[in-house]
Chains A and B, each alone.
Chain A
Amino acid sequence: MIFVLDNSVAMRWCFESATHSYADAILQKLAAGDDAIVPVLWFYEASAVLSREQQKGTLDPAKAEAFLAELQS
């Protein structure tokens, strides 16, 4: 199945304190082979969020980079 992935779902994958059963279920769908489509601005939006958390010291830069790389894989 192909679905449109919202950033609010994907960002929940990145923070242990923000986990949600729905977001985790979506991740499992992707793991099972479903495909997600996103607009090009999606990556800018995700990058803006992760960048902000880096600046605040909440997120390790290496982790943010790896996270983005996995999102694009």
Chain B
Amino acid sequence: MTELTPSLAQSRLARIVGAGVAHQVAQRAKANGVKMGRPQKLTARQKKEAIKRRDQGEETLAEIGRSYNVSIWTISRITAVTDEPSLATPASRPERPWDVSRVSYRFEIVAFLDYTGQNASFESMEIRIPPHQEARLAALAARLGRSPDEIVAEAITFWELRVPQRLAAERRHSPAQAAAKILELRKGNVLPVGESIKDLINFGRA
């Protein structure tokens, strides 16, 4: 399959927040009594209720969001942080593979999506990385005397340069073999009752 658009390096994707530095600044501000962040859209009680409703599985996230007059993304974020002990209800939730590591990556599009012709790019993106990686990045930046932004941008550029070679190395299937593998992979994958491909696509495009 072929991508029509330029690579990520050519797009305007790349303002990446240096999370380690931002974290230190935030900690200092909090110590001085500054309240950080936007006001919460839902109360703690509403959040717990939303998580419970999600776990019951009778409503989609969009439906839950509408009932609180918030977006699906708000509900998605809230229900995604149930790893926090105060909000989690382990007895009612099936164990999921990524619960084991307790590491989560959250990508937030903090500005508009600019779509012009064949070029689509994000105005900016915030990437939150686990604390140990923040620490490594901060230490590396301090040692090199460079900003975390520069280091991450450079790492992405190197990674992108390596992608074509990696893909070529991994491309050991013929198209027919790939199609056969896809058909094999879909065995046993059953959508929940009442959920259609249209629902999935609408979620992906939301």
Chain A residues near B (Cβ < 8 Å): 5, 7-8, 11-19, 27-28, 30-33, 35-43, 45-46, 48-49, 52-59, 61, 63, 66-67, 69-73
B170:A69 contact, CB within 8 angstroms: yes
- A38-B2, A53-B200 are contacts. A30–B96 as well, Cβ < 8 Å? no
- Given A16-B188, A58-B190, A35 and B178 touching (CB < 8 A)? no
The tally of CB-CB contacts under 8 A between chains A and B is 124
Chain B interface residues toward A at CB < 8 A? 1-5, 80, 94, 96-98, 118, 120, 167, 170-171, 173, 175-176, 178-183, 185-192, 196-198, 200-201, 203-205
CB-CB < 8 A to B167: which residues of A?
Answer: 72
Measured between C-beta atoms, what is the minimum distance from B199 to chain A in Å? 10
Cα of A31 to Cα of B176 in the assembled complex, Å: 4
Closest to B189 in A: A15
Residues B191 and A58 in contact, CB atoms below 8 Å apart: yes
Of B1, B118, B170, B196, the contact of A71 (CB 8 Å cutoff): B1
Q: How far is the CA of A63 from the CA of B187 in the complex (A)?
A: 10
**Residues on the B chain within 8 Å of A66, using CB:** 181, 185
- What 9 A-B pairs are tightest by C-beta distance, nearest first? A31-B179, A40-B5, A45-B204, A48-B204, A49-B204, A17-B190, A31-B176, A49-B200, A73-B178
